[in-house]
Chain A
Amino acid sequence: MEKPMIYKVISKPEFKSFIDTLVKSNTAYGPKAVDTDRLGNPVYQFMHVQGADEIAFDYTVTHSSAKHLLLPFRDELSHYSFRDGDWDQEVRYDAPPIVLIGLRPCDINAINILDDVMLHGPYPSPYYLARRKNTFIIGMDHLPLADCFCKSMNRHTVNHGFNLFCSDIGDRYYLAINSANAFSFLKEFRIEDPSYEDNCNLIERRKSIKNSFATTVEVTGLPVFLDIEFDSPIWQKWGDKCLSCGSCAMVCPTCYCYSVEERFDIDLKGSTRQNHLYSCNLVDFAQVAGGHNFRPRNGDRLKYRYYHHYRGFAANDNQQICVGCNRCGRACLADINPKDVINDLRLERESCMTCVLPSPDKT
């Protein structure tokens, strides 16, 4: 459901002072240059920031997504306090408000997908709801990197799921304001109604983003295709490369599979039930009590991750959950990336088709 949006423009210095005020008045996270890789490129991550100066507004991409701010890597689900053979259970949904600055459209789309999974399924998650309700999101557009393929997934634009979205139109930002809070904050700063020129610049900007995608992954019909190719040897081929290290799932903005663990407190006076983010690539993901592993091979587990991302699960309306940010592809040490795997599957399929179909010019 789309809510009406207010459009304004703001100069870049004024925007920076707005962000600075917001950051100083709240707990805020934004893209920060944390390191330099061996080629001399800065490495960005979403980190806690205390002033606008720390934020790299013109960052390329963060190595890890901002997912962990909504779905922490480890999260306490409940705590038991024991007393002589009996116990009390405490469940808390604590989430102090946070501001997330600089999310890309694909990242916001990823959060929208998580909303669908966590809140719109049969059993809404209050832990997620508490965090989501208390998260203020400021999105920013960017020119795609060479390996971004969010356009193929149709996740390169976003029209909901944020409080404020900023498009870079030269010396100013074109703001899409999507919440009363955001508007009342911005009222304190110099914002203007967009001029005709601003509107033209915005359209130009959108066009140039749309035309800058260098990577295309053909995903039409992929769900059916994955069903058909379930037993394809391709999976073992890529599985043989897979290190089963779970890096892809950790950096992914939508991977949400988890594991629940319970531990006694060290003083034995209570225990804590925790969930921690897991990956379907990890060796014991499908292991059951007694030790049987339903997916003992790397290929089976890798396939499963692709199945989840590009076919979707029945309970979530078969929605594809990949947004095309290619963080998994960049993080993978074994050089496995969605583009190559999907193309490989298609190639395999096509070569099968040519074998099966009689060629027309053989008369």
Chain B
Amino acid sequence: MKHLGFNIGKVKIGSFDFTCCEGCQLQLANRESTLPDFLALIDVRNFREISSERFDDYDIALVEGSVTRSDEIERLKKIRAQAKVLVAFGSCACFGGVNSLKNGIPQEEAVREVYDGKTIETMPSTRIADIVSVDYCIPGCPVSKEEVERILVGMVTRSLVSLPKYPVCVECKQRLNICLFDLGQLCLGPVTRAGCDAVCPTGRTACLGCRGPAEDINFPSFEQLVRDKKLSSSEMREMLGFYNGFADYLEHEKS
């Protein structure tokens, strides 16, 4: 397409999974109403969930999942070397995700519990930014297809690609939801990055912070809130640790 005198063409993408449930990639094929338009934007070069054809000439790599095995490191580095733009796709890739829950217990114990004594090579769940440089993060568990569309359109047209900087509360209030704190629940909405349209609080489920912290959050005030409402601070830490998105804040607290 020609717009304003410069060419807008399809982008070549590759989609790759590491340690994850592949649910975020599945989102790419979701939302049928816009799927044909979405697929017209991209030239899928490597994506095992929708095509058996594989090429290695992609420009944008969507990387789902965290790294939990040493061979994954090599594979990730190869993808990084090929891709012009590397996107951490989903909470596992951005923060380590649910997989990071095992980081809190000895690795042998985790292996014994899950694989019943089989010999499995494993390492602590690591977000991909700790291994290679990441150009964009699209957090979420799973990612929101609408946001993925917006960001990919932004990449195709070279227009603004950004995530909201404010917390989920903004969107939750816009949906006229009752505040979960008023129901006596603990919710991470006030500190979690918006962009999900407050889907969990709207369904009366507490926000677990799958999109990680909003920009410049007031963490001490949030802890105070949990104390003031007489909610459990161990539950709060558990929730904050669920997707590992708040690791920096939790560590800070320990020290």
A298 touches B218 (CB 8 A): yes
Interface flag for B181 (CB, 8 Å): yes
Look across to chain A and name the residue whose beta carbon is closest to the beta carbon of B6.
A85
Interface flag for A275 (CB, 8 Å): no
Say which one of B61-69, B135-143, B150-158 lies at the interface with A.
B150-158
Least Cβ–Cβ distance between A260 and chain B, in angstroms: 12
Interface flag for B120 (CB, 8 Å): no
Most buried by B among A45, A240, A241, A268: A268
Q: How far is the CA of A45 from the CA of B1 in the complex (A)?
A: 46
B170 touches A282 (CB 8 A): yes
Q: How far is the CA of A85 from the CA of B1 in the complex (A)?
A: 9
Chain B positions within 8 Å of A74 at CB level: 174
Say which one of A193-201, A212-220, A327-335 lies at the interface with B.
A327-335
Q: How far is the CA of A131 from the CA of B165 in the complex (A)?
A: 30
What string of 1s and 0s marks CB contacts (under 8 Å) between B1-44 and chain A? 11111001000000000000000000000000010011011000
Q: How far is the CA of A73 from the CA of B216 in the complex (A)?
A: 23
Least Cβ–Cβ distance between A334 and chain B, in angstroms: 5
Least Cβ–Cβ distance between A215 and chain B, in angstroms: 20
Chain A positions within 8 Å of B156 at CB level: 268
**A85-B2, A268-B156 known; A251 vs B183 contact (CB < 8 Å):** no
Chain B positions within 8 Å of A264 at CB level: 153-154, 157, 159
A268 touches B182 (CB 8 A): no
Least Cβ–Cβ distance between A340 and chain B, in angstroms: 14
B179 touches A279 (CB 8 A): no
Contact of A333 among B179, B184, B215, B217 (CB under 8 A): B179
Chain A positions within 8 Å of B218 at CB level: 240-244, 298, 334
**A264-B159, A283-B214 known; A250 vs B173 contact (CB < 8 Å):** yes
A268 touches B41 (CB 8 A): yes
Most buried by A among B5, B159, B169, B214: B169
Least Cβ–Cβ distance between A18 and chain B, in angstroms: 27
Contact of B183 among A37, A64, A241, A262 (CB under 8 A): A37
Contact of B178 among A34, A82, A246, A298 (CB under 8 A): A34
Interface flag for A190 (CB, 8 Å): no
**A64-B173, A243-B221 known; A43 vs B182 contact (CB < 8 Å):** yes
Chain B residues touching A, range: 35 or more
Q: How far is the CA of A333 from the CA of B150 in the complex (A)?
A: 31
How many residues of A are counted as interface, with CB atoms below 8 angstroms from the partner's CB atoms? 42
Interface flag for B190 (CB, 8 Å): yes
B170 touches A244 (CB 8 A): no
Chain A positions within 8 Å of B41 at CB level: 266, 268
Contact of B167 among A240, A246, A277 (CB under 8 A): A246
Interface flag for B249 (CB, 8 Å): no
A284 touches B165 (CB 8 A): yes
**A263-B153, A268-B157, A284-B165 known; A241 vs B5 contact (CB < 8 Å):** no
Chain A positions within 8 Å of B3 at CB level: 82, 85, 268
A267 touches B221 (CB 8 A): no
Q: How far is the CA of A64 from the CA of B221 in the complex (A)?
A: 23
**A243-B167, A245-B166, A266-B149 known; A333 vs B181 contact (CB < 8 Å):** yes
19 A-B pairs (CB sep. < 8 Å): A37-B178, A37-B183, A43-B178, A47-B176, A85-B2, A240-B221, A243-B167, A243-B222, A246-B167, A247-B169, A247-B173, A250-B170, A263-B159, A264-B153, A268-B3, A268-B157, A279-B166, A284-B166, A331-B179
Interface residues of A (CB under 8 A from B): 34-35, 37-38, 43, 45, 47, 63-64, 68, 73-74, 82, 84-85, 240-247, 250-251, 262-264, 266-268, 277, 279, 282-284, 296, 298, 331, 333-335
Q: A47-B176, A85-B5, A264-B159 are in contact. List 17 more A-B contacts (CB 8 A).
A: A34-B176, A34-B178, A63-B178, A63-B179, A64-B176, A241-B218, A241-B224, A243-B218, A244-B217, A245-B167, A250-B170, A266-B37, A266-B153, A267-B40, A282-B166, A284-B165, A334-B218
